[in-house]
Structures are given as C-alpha cells and as structure tokens.
Amino acid sequence: MSTPTKYLLDESQMPTFWYNIVADLPKAPPPVLHPGTLQPVGPDDLAPLFPLELIRQEVSTEREIEIPEPVREIYRLWRPSPLYRAHRLEKALGTPAKIFYKYEGVSPAGSHKPNTAVPQAFYNAQAGTKRLTTETGAGQWGTSLSFAGQLFGLEVLVFQVRVSYDQKPYRRAVMETYGARCLPSPSTETEYGRRVLAQRPDHPGSLGVAISEAVELAAQREDTKYALGSVLNHVLLHQTVIGLEAMEQLQMADAWPDVIVGATGGGSNFAGIAFPFIGHGLRGGAKPRIVAVEPAACPSLTRGKYAYDFGDTAHLTPLTKMHTLGSTFTPPPFHAGGLRYHGMAPLVSHLKELGLIEATAYTQTQCFEAGVLFARCEGIVPAPEANHAVKGAIEEALRCKREGKSETILFNLCGHGHFDMAAYQKYFAGELKDETYDERELAMALAGLPSVPEPA
Amino acid sequence: MSTPTKYLLDESQMPTFWYNIVADLPKAPPPVLHPGTLQPVGPDDLAPLFPLELIRQEVSTEREIEIPEPVREIYRLWRPSPLYRAHRLEKALGTPAKIFYKYEGVSPAGSHKPNTAVPQAFYNAQAGTKRLTTETGAGQWGTSLSFAGQLFGLEVLVFQVRVSYDQKPYRRAVMETYGARCLPSPSTETEYGRRVLAQRPDHPGSLGVAISEAVELAAQREDTKYALGSVLNHVLLHQTVIGLEAMEQLQMADAWPDVIVGATGGGSNFAGIAFPFIGHGLRGGAKPRIVAVEPAACPSLTRGKYAYDFGDTAHLTPLTKMHTLGSTFTPPPFHAGGLRYHGMAPLVSHLKELGLIEATAYTQTQCFEAGVLFARCEGIVPAPEANHAVKGAIEEALRCKREGKSETILFNLCGHGHFDMAAYQKYFAGELKDETYDERELAMALAGLPSVPEPA
C-alpha cells in the first residue's frame, strides 16, 4: 500500500485558534430572544448561567478566537486526533471515491465532547466558579464534563435521566471515576425535581426535566454555573478544532473534500468538521458539498420548521430560531441518544436556510448496518450517533461508484461505541426496530410553537 | 509546558522486524517436553494446531523476524501507538521521576492483543487455514482474534467461558460485530463439552474447559487451527513491536528508562515492552531494572514454583518449564481476568531465573486505587490488568520521591477499561474484595506437579 492509512499531526501543529463562522456569513444569524419581552437577550440575561468569557464567545463576530494555553495543554492528551484514509472500506464498496474520516473517539471520554467540555471548565474555573451542573442522557456529555471539571478542580454535578441511570450504570461509573457526582433525575435536590416526584414518584425522567434541575441549581448559587454540550454558538465554536486539523491533514494527503458528511443531533460534531471548510468556501476557496445526516425518527432539519422555539421542554430557556420539531415533541427511544433532540443548533439551522448545507435522514437499522460494515473493514466500532455519518459517507461513495467519479469524501467519526454494545447486540438479534414518530404528535408540537413576530 | 505530552511516530517509522530475545540470552531456555515421552517436542507434534510459520517462530533463534507487509498494513490502523509523558500524574505524586507510558488501548480491540492476533490470522490464512478456534474469558483475546480473522477472511469460533458469556454480553456483541461466532463453553459442539455437560448441565465453564473445546475442534479438522493469546514464544515475539516503538519514542524525548514496569498474567504485554530493552542491555547497552507486577491473588512469579507443568487444566498441552501455581490451581475471581492464569510464559520465567527481571505483587483494591488516580490525572481509564502496571509505576515514582532521584520510569498501559466498568462500579461502592487464594489448595496444586527428571 503506497498511500498512508492515517495522517497525524504533531502537538506543535495543533490549531491555536478556534474558527468562528459568524465572521464570514453573508447574513447575520437571527437574534436570541427573551421569552417574556421577545427582545434580544443581552449578556446580563445569561450571566447567572455562564461565565462572561463564554457569553462573549456566544455573541462574538471575530473570525479567530485564541485557544488558551491551559486548554491546549489538556487537548494534547488526545489532540491532534488522527485523520484516516478508509482504504479497506473503499475496497469493500468497490468505489472510485477516496474516503477520509476524522476520528474523535481517541479522547478520554470517547467522543468529540471534551473539545468543548475542557474550555467550558477552564473559563468557569478562571471566573471563580466552584461547581458545574449539567444534564446527561446516555452519559457521553456527562462523562466529558466530569473529566474536564476534574482537571480544573471543579465539582461536577450531573443529572442523569433516571431510566438511563438505572439501565446504563457503566457510564455513571466512568463519571465517578473522574470524580463527579451523578444523580438520577428527577431528584430530590431541586424544587423542580421534588415537584415532579410528588406528582409521580416513579417518573422515568427526561432530558427536559434534567436540564431544568441543572439550570435551577446553577441559577440559585453564585458559585455554580451550568454547562451545555451542544446547540450553543460557543459549543460549536470549540468543536471547530476538528475541521481545522482535518484541513492540515488533508493537505498532507494532497487531497481536498468534494463532500463533507456529519451526523446531526444538536449540531456540534457536524459544525466542528464542516464550519472551517464552509468558511474557507465563503472566503473564496473551494466549496465542498456539506451533508448533515440525521435520524429519520428525529428529523429536525428535514421535517422540522424553521421558527423561534424553546431549547427545553420546561420553557426555561430563551427563544432561538432553529429547525425544530416543537419543544413538546418526544423522539421515540432509538439508540443514538446523542441525536434525540427536538431542535437543531441555531447556527446550523441558519446555514441550512442560507443554502450552505444539505440534509438527509436515515433509519437506525440502515445506520447500524453501515456501522457493522465499517467496523469489519476499519476495526473501529462506531457509536450509534457516528453510524449516521458512516451511512451518509457510504451513500456518497456508492453514488460516486454509480457515476464513475473519484470524489474525495470526508466524514467525522465522532465517537466509538464501546458503551453502546447493547444496541449492537439488539441489532444482531434482529430486535432493533426502526422506531418512528407519531405524525399527529409532530403536527401538534409544531402547531404549539410560540408565536413570535419577525423582527424588523 | 515546554516538554511534549506525547511522542508519535509516523507509519513509516513503524518497526519492520519483531525482536526475538532468545538470540541474545546467555543460556537457552529449557525445551518443551512431550507429556508422554518426556522428550522435547518437534514441529510435527505442534502441526495439527499451528501453521508451520508460527511453529518456526516458536523455536527460532534468529534475532530479527520480519513483519510481513500485509500484517504491517493492518498494524497501521492503530500503530505506531503513542508514548505519553505522564506530566499530570508526576505532579499529583510530587515525584522528581519522569513517568512515560506506552498506550496500547488505541487498537480496535482496546488492548495489545491484536499485535499477535493479526499475524496469527495472517500466517494461518497464508497456510490455507479456513477456520480458527480459540477460548476467551472476559473476551479481550476473543475480540482481538475476531477482528484479525475478519480481515483475512477466516471464520473464527470463540469458546467463551459460560459465566462470562452470560454476565458480559457486550464483549460478545463486539466479537459478533467483527463477524465471529461465539459459543458458551461448555458447548454441545465438542465431545469434551458434551461430556462435561452430561455430568453437570449447569456447568459455569472455565478457561481450562474452553481451551480443551477449542483444541479438540482444531485437532479434528485439517482446515481448522487453534490460536493462543499469550504464553507462547511466538506470541511474546509479536508483542515486541511495543518495546521497539517505545525505544524510538524515548529517543525523541531524549530519555532512556531506569526502570520498566509491566503487568504479568500470561506474560505477553510485559514481554512486549520489556524484551527489546533487556536485549539491548544483554548486547552491552544500558540495563534498566525490569519489574513484573502480578496480582497478589494469582502470584505465579512471586509464589509459584519454577517447574515443568501443563498449560491447561485438562492436561492436553505439552509440558513447559515455567513459574506455576500448579495446573489444578483455581485463581479466585478477581477482576483482572487477563491475569488469572496458573502459569507464566516460559520465556518470562526463564528470564526471572536468569536474574534479568524482578517481580512484585499487589492486591486488586491497591491496583484500582492507582487506576482511579491515573484516570483523574491522565484521562484514560485503564483496564484492571493495566492497573497493575500503573500501581507498579506509581510505587517506583514514590520511591524516587523518597530517595530524591529523578529516574525515568516506563510502563505499558496495555488496554483501556471501557468494558470493565462494572469492576470500577464495585470499587466505588466499596464492594471490591481483595480475594485471596487458599494456601492449602496452592500447596496441593504444587504437590501435584508432574514429575519430570532434569534433562542431561
């Protein structure tokens, strides 16, 4: 084999800036609105939950934002992450396409999430925060924040959806290994949790409830802040280190993508790989096609409405304009838990409206089938979320085969599936169903969107 | 931070030869004996189980054995593996020592085992083998062989100890993801399995029974061979790629180890990191101290007898001279399943007798405590087996602190603990016991060693 299997960067080649796509957009994204006044929110509205530097990044229009040295010091534990050429997958597909994938599963938490957990913990520690609260479903984000908090001496309190807490104790064990405290939500530690439990003592929990508990504690105490793992601008910003590295690595391979594929739930891993390339195109460089792949059972980009909506089910958050299935929409319980969110990151939604990205949706069995083929060729067993990107990349490679084109495909393999083997087990046992949502429920959720007049 | 966190080699810098320590030993290791004749076994005795090239490697005295290009092509999926400087652990310990660790958890199977699974599958495929059989306990080795077999088009049949098969379905799901067939042992597919089940239908299985089933099938069919994940010379040989890479990487760091630490069960990951350095010392180079760390509950090097013994409980294997607790000794059920073996690799045992290595033993709670500290500093959650090496390295670093010495410590972090979180969970719940063996059982097992006259 004459061409390499992987392209590695030295620590000294790690990016020193995150890339902020807002600087290059032809049209500014719509403002975030206060749910009471329907006026744009200011820094003061967000200050109870986030440290000032993160609020600054949330609204920044600077193109490059420096990665602080203490963050880079931690990044070096796993970054730069490898870029792989999927030689064996190409051969198995018989495609003339070149397939590259960036692998984020090398992080301690096994996914791209620590890319933002580490700076969030750093800026909080710098601002004097003593404790971070957050919510987690399956546990990927909770694990990442536990790891990051430990490194900067912050106490981390994770509200884990009770059904996951009971059924998936291994992720909780990882969080405890990193020194975090993990509570089943609804819990008795918050007023909201106690209220929910009073109504229904065996409540199984939901991300919406867990967010409300985490936000309630953060808002109450000066020394406590809240951390979110996706959706927000500053979270997407931190993930751009993925695409910035991939640019360097593709240059080593003397290649440039014709198409970039990423899985979308909240939007952060997709933004991480895609935004630097989109920005390069907006500044006059080559414009690859950008394909967001979402689960058919929670299709915010392909079936949702672009409208102002709440980020949580309890309606505690500001209103953001995004592709949404409605904040009361409950996605069916498929296995890519990281993609089970009713909305899409406002920035990703804005890019979709500007025609800068495409979107497509696949069912979970289609995605697992793709993931198993990938594992048998490339060795790595992908997370169920990452299987969506694998499926999207395989479809592009098969299109290239049909069209006889040797395009270059880049996708983000955002995490490994080591904590998701129960889903693979079900897949092999033929027990994995293609859960679908209730069309009436979707219609009702969309009909219930808050009424917000277009700003002048 | 001026010094790097990790040292990476390019694929082009990957070793092209494995290192065979037999070439440099001052005294040849004792021969392997046929249990019937008590005469040294020849290639014909091993031919039903292994392809000729592996038998050749088993008895080779050549210093360097070329790594075939198809094996290197697969190695490139994760090799060269990174060498880390444990800056944060050093700081937490307050030690003047420099701690480096080689991380083998980056392989698709999550441990060092694919280093030998891949060449074993390759040589078998080359020799016309269609099917490989093997045994596995927790599943690390079975996973690695499943992965390797898939890459070379071999059918893989794994006999998994029934109690693990039932209690740990996730490793089995990984094996199935790689296309292997995994059966609970005792099974109805072999005569031996049926005999065991006839006596006791609810038999929980044991590694001894699983080995017997795998060997029985391999011996019966021309197209089927058997593969072993540790102990044998050729297995240790393949693992030397670890130490050979570490040598290059330490030179990048302008460092050389004063002490090398590895966990020992069968001996393969320890040999992999240590043998190239020991050989370098035997050829006139610097001689680092070499410390083997074993579990206190299965202490073959520190409490066993150096004697001829069987490799399995059913006494189907040849006799090898090794440190053994007796083939009838049953280690208590501690969580480092990869270290639960009654004997030690004959080559490692021989080096111990020659005074080239030291050995020490720790209890499992001591090792988990070390592993948790490591995870909180370095991010990676180690496998329970690897925790023994972590503990050994920490003890050396604390000795350096007491003695005011800034020695350089190198250890092998042979795998991650993603599939072992149940053990961490027990540790945090205070339920992890320091299981100990029965002294009378050990005495009886040692008394029952086969009587073999010293060869002339």
Asked if A381 and B424 come within 8 Å (Cβ–Cβ), the reply is no
- How big, in percent rounded to 5, are the helix, strand and coil portions of chain B? 45, 20, 40
Tokens 């925060």 identify what position? A129
User: Which tokens hold the place of B17?
Assistant: 């030869």
Residues B320, B228: Cα–Cα separation, whole Å: 15
The residue among B2, B9, B12, B77 with the most chain A CBs within 10 A of its CB, best to mutate, is: B77
The C-alpha atoms of residue B390 and residue B369 are separated, in whole angstroms, by 10
pLDDT at res. A188? 96
Strand order in the sheet with A224-226: A181-185, A155-161, A131-136, A224-226
pLDDT for B206 equals 83
Q: Is B412 helix (H, G, I), strand (E, B) or coil?
A: strand
A349-360 pLDDT per residue, tens: 999 999 999 999
CA distance A20 to chain B (A): 27
Question: According to DSSP H, which parts of A182-341 are helical?
Answer: 191-199, 207-220, 233-239, 241-252, 268-282, 300-303
- Residue A174 forms contact with B (CB below 8 Å): yes
B150 touches chain A (CB under 8 A): yes
Give me the residue spans of the domains in chain B. Answer: 6-13+66-110+234-447, 112-232
Is B252 within 8 Å of chain A by CB? no
Separation of CA B118 from chain center:
15
Question: What confidence score (pLDDT) does residue A456 get?
Answer: 53
What is the β-pairing status of strands B6-7 and B83-85? antiparallel
> What is the DSSP secondary-structure string of B201-227?
TT----HHHHHHHHHHHHHH-TTEEE-
- The shares of helix, strand and coil residues in chain A, as percent rounded to the nearest 5, are 45, 20, 40
Chain B CB within 8 Å of residue A287 CB = no
Chain B residues in contact with A418 by the CB 8 A cut-off are 110, 418-419
Write out pLDDT tens, residues B69-122: 999 999 999 999 999 999 999 999 999 999 999 999 999 999 999 999 999 999
Read off the amino acid at residue A390: V
Look at residue B2 in the predicted model and tell me its pLDDT: 66
pLDDT in tens, B357-378: 999 999 999 999 999 999 999 9
First to last CA, chain A: 60
* CA B412 – CA B414 distance, rounded (Å): 5
Residues A249-283 as b or e (16 or more Cβ within 10 Å = b): bbeebebebbbbbbbbbbbbbbbbbbbbbbbbebe
For residue A107, list chain B residues with Cβ-Cβ distance below 8 A.
379
DSSP state of A271: H
User: Three-state SS for A151?
Assistant: helix
Tally DSSP H helices, then E strands, for chain A. Answer: 19, 15
CATH class of the structural domain A6-13+66-110+234-447: alpha beta
Q: Is the dihedral of CA B151, B155, B159, B164 positive or negative?
A: positive
Low-confidence ranges of chain B (pLDDT < 50): 1
Q: In what order do the strands lie in the sheet with B155-161?
A: B181-185, B155-161, B131-136, B224-226
| Cβ within 8 Å, pair A428-B1 | no
Matching fold, domains B6-13+66-110+234-447 and B112-232: yes
Q: Which residues contact B236 (CB under 8 A, 6 or more apart)?
A: B230, B267, B268, B271, B272, B275, B345, B347, B348
Per-residue confidence (pLDDT) for residue A79, from 0 to 100:
98
CA angle B426, B429, B433 (to 5 degrees): 55
Residue of B nearest to A368 (CA): B177
CA angle (B180 as vertex; B207, A388 as ends), nearest 5: 130
- Structurally, at CATH architecture level, domain A112-232 sits in 3-Layer(aba) Sandwich (3.40)
Give residues with Cβ within 8 angstroms of A76, minimum separation 6: A11, A14, B1, B4, B5, B6
Three-state SS annotation for B351-408? HHHCCCCEEEEECHHHHHHHHHHHHHHHCCCECHHHHHHHHHHHHHHHHHHHHCCCCE
- Ranges of chain A whose pLDDT falls below 70: 1-2, 455-456
Interface test with B, best of A1, A171, A175, A381 (most B CBs within 10 A): A381
What pTM does this model have? 0.96
Per-residue pLDDT, B312 = 79
Determine the pLDDT at residue B204.
85
